[in-house]
Amino acid sequence: MKAAKIIMKCLKEEDVNLVFGYPGGAVLPLFEAMRESDIEHVLVRNEQSLVHYASGYYRSTGKVGVCIATSGPGATNTITGIATAYLDSIPVVLITGQVNTDLLGTDAFQEADIKGATEPFTKHSYLIKDANDIPRVFKEAFYLANSGRKGPVLIDIPRNVQEENIKYQKCEEINIIGYQPTLLGHRGQVKRAINKIKDSQRPVIYAGGGVILAEAEKQLLEFAEKNKIPIINSLMGLGSFPQDNPLYAGIVGSHGYQYSNRIISRADLLIVIGARMSDRATGRFHQLNSNLQYIHIDIDPAEIGKNIEAMVPIVGDAKLILENLTTKDISVDTSNWLEEIESIREALPINMDMQPGCNYINPKEIIASISDITDDSACVVADVGLNQIWAALYYKLTAKRSYFTSGGLGTMGYSLPAASGVKIGNPQRQVICIMGDGSFQMTLGELAVIREQNIGIKIILFNNQRLGMVKGLQDNFYGKNHNCGVHLECKIEFTKLAEAYSIPAYKVDTIESFREVFSQVMQNDEPCLIQCLIDPEYTAF
C-alpha cells in the first residue's frame, strides 16, 4: 500500500475525521490519498491560521487537532501557530511535507529544516525517512500530544517517502523510552499539602488552564466547596470555576481585578493547580506578598520551581490529585477569611465606567451585554490586546461557558481561526469572536473560509484605529503624545470588507444599537460581523 494511504489509515485509527490544511507540491501524495478517503478537509487561507483552527477544534471537542502544510514557506508559516499551541499546552499534530530524502541538506527548492526549527516549542518533532516507521510514529505522536502536559507534535515527511509502497503493519503498543508521565502525585507530598492547608488561616486556590486540560472542573468545584477555599483564576484558567459561585475571587495579575490582587496580598497559602505562574499573571506576587507560601500541583515537573519556589511540589494529574484531596479530612476553618474577602470585594468594586472624555461605546458594556444575551453554551474566543482583557474581565463565565485566548504567546490574529475551529467542532454552540482592528487585518483572509464553510460565528470587531494596548503602555511609560507606531489611521470600512465575502455586517456606535443588533443576529446561525466604534484614547481596563 502507498505510504500516503497508510497515513490516512493511521489518522482514522486515531479517530480523525477532519483536518485543516493548505496543499503544495511536497504533500501532493497526501492530498491524493485524502481525496480517496472519507476524511474531511478544510482549506484555510494562511498556514499560520492552520494551527489556530486545530487549537480551537481541540478546545471544542477534546479531540487532537490535525493540520497539514507543505514544505518550506508553508511549514515555516505554521511556526507561530505551533508556538502558540505549545505555550497554551494544546494538543495538535502537524504533518508537513518535505523535499525528497536525496535532496535533504542541499538547499533544494522549498527545503526548510522544520523539524529543527520547531524542536524548542513542540513536545516532539519527527522526520520520517523510512515509510515503515509511519504507523509507529503516528501512534506515538498522538499519544505524546494528548498525554502528560499536552502540546503540539510535528511529523515531517519527505515526498518520496509518502509515495513508497510498503506493507502496512498496525502499531499495537507504544513504548517511548524515558516518557512516562506521573499522574497520581507522591503520597508523602500530598500528605504535606494537607497539613499545610490545615495550618493555614487564609488559603487561596490559584486555578490555571491545566485544570481545564485535565477536565478537572467538577473536582475543583467539589474540593473548593467542601473546604470553603476561595478560587482565583489565571487568564488560561478562566472557565475552570463558575464565576457565580460565592467562592470565586476573580483574576489576578497586571490585568486582573484590583480586589483579587488585594486578596493575594492578604493570603498566607496559595494552592496552585495547573498554572505556569507566568510573569504576566504572577510577576508582582512577591511584591504583593513576600510571605506567601505555595503548594504547586502540575503534570509537568519542569514547571514546579521554575518561577516560584513551592514549599510543597506535587507532580501529577489535576483531576486525580483533586479527587484524592477531596476524600481527605482537611477541616480548615475559613469563615473569617471569607468574611474578609467579602469586605475587600465591597471596598474595591469592579469599575464599569469609561475614562472621562471618551466617546462612542464603552467596551466593558459591550462585553457585559454579550454575557447577558448569550446562553450557557456560549464560548468567547478573544484575540490579543485590549479586547482580550475586556473580554476576560467583564464576560461572566459559568461552568458551562468558556473563554479561549492565546494566553501564553499572546498571538495577534488568533481568534478568527480559533473561533472557527471551535464552531466547526461543535456547530450547536454559540461562538463569539472578539478582536481588535489590528488583529483583524492580520487574519481577514479567513473570512473566505467562514463564508465557504458557513461557520456561524459572530465577530465583534472593536475599531479604535489604534494598537490599543501598546498605545496604553506608551502612555503609561512615556506620557501622552509620545505614541509611536500604533496608529491605524487608514479608515477602513470593515462592514464593506465583510460584505465582500458575503458576510452580513453592521456598524454601531451606541450601546443601545449594539444590544439591538446583537440580539437580532443571535436569532440565527449565520456568520456576521459587528463593527463597534471605540474611542482611540480609551485604553483602561
121 & 209 share domain? no
Tell me how crowded residue 120 is: count the other CB atoms within 10 A of its CB.
9
Tell me how crowded residue 11 is: count the other CB atoms within 10 A of its CB.
23
Q: What is the reported pLDDT for 225?
A: 96
**Among candidate residues 318, 347, 376, the one where a domain is terminated:** 347
Q: What is the DSSP string of 35-76?
A: HTSS-EEEE-S-HHHHHHHHHHHHHHHSSPEEEEE-STHHHH
Positive/negative CA dihedral, 198, 199, 204, 205: negative
For residue 213, tell me if it sits in a domain: yes
- Local mean pLDDT, 10-residue blocks, the chain (541 residues): 96 97 97 97 96 96 97 96 97 98 94 96 97 97 97 98 94 89 92 94 96 95 96 94 94 88 94 88 76 93 85 94 94 94 95 85 96 92 95 87 91 97 96 96 96 98 93 91 90 95 97 97 97 91 81
483 & 340 share domain? no
For residue 540, tell me if it sits in a domain: no
337 & 429 share domain? no
518 Cβ contact list (under 8 Å, min separation 6): 369, 370, 373, 458, 530
For residue 52, tell me if it sits in a domain: yes
Domain count, the chain: 3
439 & 484 share domain? yes
433 & 458 share domain? yes
142 & 226 share domain? no
Q: What is the reported pLDDT for 317?
A: 96
Q: What is the reported pLDDT for 358?
A: 87
46 & 111 share domain? yes
For residue 303, tell me if it sits in a domain: yes
Which residue intervals of 97-208 are DSSP H helices?
114-118, 134-145, 159-162, 187-199
What is the domain-level CATH number for residue 283?
3.40.50.1220
497 & 409 share domain? yes
**Among candidate residues 347, 382, 399, the one where a domain is terminated:** 347
Helix 415-425 to helix 47-61 angle, to the nearest 10 degrees?
40
97 & 146 share domain? yes
Tell me how crowded residue 9 is: count the other CB atoms within 10 A of its CB.
17
Instruction: Give this prediction's pTM.
Output: 0.95
The domain containing residue 290 runs over which residues?
187-347
For residue 169, tell me if it sits in a domain: no
10 & 135 share domain? yes
Helix (H) or strand (E) segment spanning residue 417: helix 415-425
378 & 527 share domain? yes
305 Cβ contact list (under 8 Å, min separation 6): 296, 313
Which residue intervals of 426-467 are DSSP H helices?
437-443, 447-452
For residue 172, tell me if it sits in a domain: no
Tell me the Ramachandran region of residue 343: left when phi exceeds 0, alpha when psi lies from -120 to 50, beta otherwise: alpha
Q: What is the reported pLDDT for 102?
A: 95
What is the domain-level CATH number for residue 78?
3.40.50.970
For residue 168, tell me if it sits in a domain: no
For residue 357, tell me if it sits in a domain: no
**Among candidate residues 319, 347, 375, the one where a domain is terminated:** 347
Q: What is the reported pLDDT for 281?
A: 73
Sheet holding 505-508, edge to edge: 402-404, 379-382, 431-436, 458-463, 528-533, 505-508
147 & 244 share domain? no
